[in-house]
């Protein structure tokens, strides 16, 4: 094991599949991994944004980034595209499971189909991708799986009933896998708090419409709960994800780690 801090963070010779890479935490993570020398396979629905991202990765000196246009709601197509990538270019050592959360609203009002669709998009998609990539990780003796979830894993968030349920299911799935994956292959959860992304903008607007308020008032209420006094930036959780994916994160396994400015009150 190297004691050089630069080598402990280097991802040269590694390759990552980053889901939800076109915006927010996914995009910031793709750039963070690329800056450490990782080859990034960026998966998202928006081809134009993926093209911008791969150009930016090349500018950072990241080796041969790839864009995969796909929607996790069409999982068979995504699996086929990832399998083609494996066949053509070899194993992927890092998997970032990251996709937009379900629509807001009380859990009692949610249709059963909303729960089943969210379970498929999050848990089943992550499970299938993990099954696809872990043989290569096992053979390489190196694997990192990181799931971008939410602080609702610890403290459910009002009016996000379906999301609270599915995020907790993902955490249970990951903890179970942490006991089964081979040495050298880790899985952890990143729990972002209120992070300044497009997703948060949408939640602010939806919450404001539901309450007869304004997005600014909703944001103000959120800020009042955060000891750090501001929203997070996507680059902040991305930095922790990069650490978890690096050799320096090798002994962190089966954990759910909040990046929330101190908002959650549970220990």
pLDDT at 208: 83
Three-state secondary structure call for residue 42: strand
Are 224 and 162 in the same domain?
no
Are 221 and 98 in the same domain?
no
Number of domains in the chain: 2
Are 171 and 41 in the same domain?
yes
Is residue 16 within 8 Å of residue 34, measured between CB atoms?
no
Inside any domain, residue 265: no
Are 41 and 62 in the same domain?
yes
This prediction has a pTM of: 0.94
Three-state secondary structure call for residue 245: helix
**Nearest Cα to Cα of residue 258 among 200, 191, 197, 211:** 191
Three-state secondary structure call for residue 88: helix
Contacts of residue 237, defined as CB under 8 A and 6 or more positions apart, other chains included, come to 25, 28, 29, 148, 190, 192, 195, 259
pLDDT at 212: 87
| Token output for 69 | 């246009």
In our burial notation (b when 16+ CB lie closer than 10 A, e otherwise), range 27-54 reads: bbbbbbbbebbbbbbbbbbeeebbeebb
Are 202 and 188 in the same domain?
no
Inside any domain, residue 213: yes
Phi and psi torsions of 236, nearest 5°: -75, -50
Inside any domain, residue 40: yes
pLDDT at 55: 97
Are 37 and 143 in the same domain?
yes
Give the single-character DSSP code of 261: T
Three-state secondary structure call for residue 76: helix
CATH number at residue 128: 3.40.50.720
Inside any domain, residue 62: yes
pLDDT at 205: 86
Inside any domain, residue 157: yes
Residue 126 and residue 124: Cα distance in Å, rounded?
A: 5
Inside any domain, residue 136: yes
Residue 97's H or E segment, with its range, is strand 94-97
Are 59 and 92 in the same domain?
yes
Are 99 and 186 in the same domain?
yes
Are 178 and 249 in the same domain?
yes
Are 22 and 85 in the same domain?
yes
DSSP-assigned beta bridge partners for residue 46:
none
Are 176 and 53 in the same domain?
yes
pLDDT at 255: 98
pLDDT at 211: 81
Domain extent at residue 210: 198-231
For residue 84, CA distances in Å to 29, 90, 132, 250 come to 23, 10, 11, 28
Residue 73 and residue 75: Cα distance in Å, rounded?
A: 6
Residue 163 and residue 47: Cα distance in Å, rounded?
A: 26
pLDDT at 201: 82
pLDDT at 6: 67
pLDDT (tens, 9 = 90+) of the chain, 267 residues, equals 666 666 789 999 999 999 999 999 999 999 999 999 999 999 999 999 999 999 999 999 999 999 999 999 999 999 999 999 999 999 999 999 999 889 889 999 999 999 999 999 999 999 999 999 999 999 999 999 999 999 999 999 999 999 999 999 999 999 999 999 999 999 999 999 999 887 788 878 888 888 888 988 888 988 999 999 999 999 999 999 999 999 999 999 999 999 999 999 998
Inside any domain, residue 252: yes
DSSP-assigned beta bridge partners for residue 264:
none
Inside any domain, residue 246: yes
Are 86 and 146 in the same domain?
yes
Residue 57's H or E segment, with its range, is helix 47-60
Give the single-character DSSP code of 124: I
Contacts of residue 114, defined as CB under 8 A and 6 or more positions apart, other chains included, come to 102, 103, 162
């Amino acid at each position: 094991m190297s004691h050089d801090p630069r080598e402990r963070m280097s991802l040269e010779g590694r390759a990552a599949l980053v889901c939800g890479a076109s915006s927010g935490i996914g995009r910031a993570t793709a750039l963070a991994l690329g800056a450490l020398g990782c080859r990034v396979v960026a998966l998202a629905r928006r081809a134009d944004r993926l093209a911008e991202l791969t150009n930016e990765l090349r500018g950072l000196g990241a080796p041969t980034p790839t864009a995969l246009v796909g929607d996790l709601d069409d999982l068979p197509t995504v699996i086929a595209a990832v399998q083609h990538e494996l066949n053509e270019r070899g194993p992927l050592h890092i998997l970032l499971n990251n996709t937009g959360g379900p629509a807001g609203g009380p859990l009692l009002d949610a249709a059963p189909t909303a729960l089943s669709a969210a379970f498929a998009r999050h848990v089943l998609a992550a499970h299938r991708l993990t099954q696809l990539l872990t043989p290569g990780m096992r053979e390489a003796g190196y694997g990192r799986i990181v799931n971008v979830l939410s602080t609702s894993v610890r403290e459910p968030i009002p009016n996000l009933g379906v999301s609270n349920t599915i995020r907790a299911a993902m955490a249970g799935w990951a903890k179970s896998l942490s006991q089964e994956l081979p040495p050298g292959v880790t899985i952890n959860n990143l729990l972002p708090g209120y992070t300044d992304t497009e997703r948060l903008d949408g939640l602010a607007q939806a919450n404001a419409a539901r309450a007869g308020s304004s997005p600014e008032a909703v944001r103000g209420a959120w800020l009042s709960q955060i000891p750090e006094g501001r929203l997070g930036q996507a680059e902040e959780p991305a930095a922790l994800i990069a650490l978890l994916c690096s050799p320096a994160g090798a002994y962190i396994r089966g954990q759910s780690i909040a990046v929330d400015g101190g908002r959650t009150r549970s220990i």
